[in-house]
């Protein structure tokens, strides 16, 4: 459905299931598509958010119940929260360099769990990044969306 992808990392759906978000990290952008939940088709590709931060790239993401994206910034030591209009409104910084993916969980689905990658011997080691490879947790004032469910039919994968 999406061609010429290099490193697909984050994807998710708006709370009303009408918008599909997709991250291809090297582009430094997250694109949005109109999404048809009945057919699983996407259309109307548009740039939703572009990261302008040196070598850092957007990685995994999740969406909260208010429609905001929480985006891991790989080689950027943080997760940012982006409004449904594509504007950064908050950030969480961590003592790790390669932040990989946020996900909501916990008993009330209001805890953001954030993964990070370890660093190799030849990787730069930015000052203060002592927790590379750790999983972090952060209590939020919002909740995550329930998990999406899919079925495989004779005509393809359907969103239910």
Distance CA 32, CA 19 (A): 6
Distance CA 89, CA 137 (A): 19
Q: Is 123 marked active-site?
A: no
Going by C-alpha positions, the residue among 92, 11, 102, 95 that lies closest to residue 48 is: 11
Per-position b or e across 55-66, b if 16+ CB within 10 A of its CB? ebbbbbbbbbee
Catalytic residue among 16, 24, 53, 59: 59
Query: Catalytic residue numbers?
Result: 59
């Amino acid at each position: 459905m999406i061609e010429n992808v290099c490193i697909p990392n984050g994807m998710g759906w708006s709370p009303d299931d009408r918008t599909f978000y997709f991250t291809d990290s090297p582009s430094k952008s997250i694109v949005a598509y109109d999404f048809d939940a009945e057919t699983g088709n996407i259309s109307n590709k548009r740039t939703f958010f572009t990261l302008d931060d040196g070598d850092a790239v957007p990685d995994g993401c999740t969406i909260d119940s208010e429609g905001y994206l929480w985006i891991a910034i790989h080689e950027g030591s943080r997760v940012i929260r982006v409004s449904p209009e594509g504007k950064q409104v908050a950030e969480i910084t961590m003592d790790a360099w390669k932040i990989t993916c946020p996900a909501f969980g916990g008993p009330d689905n209001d805890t953001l769990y954030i993964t990070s990658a370890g660093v190799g011997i030849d990787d730069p080691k930015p000052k203060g990044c002592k927790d590379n490879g750790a999983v972090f947790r952060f209590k939020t004032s919002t909740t995550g969306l329930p998990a999406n469910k899919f079925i495989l039919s004779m005509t393809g994968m359907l969103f239910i």
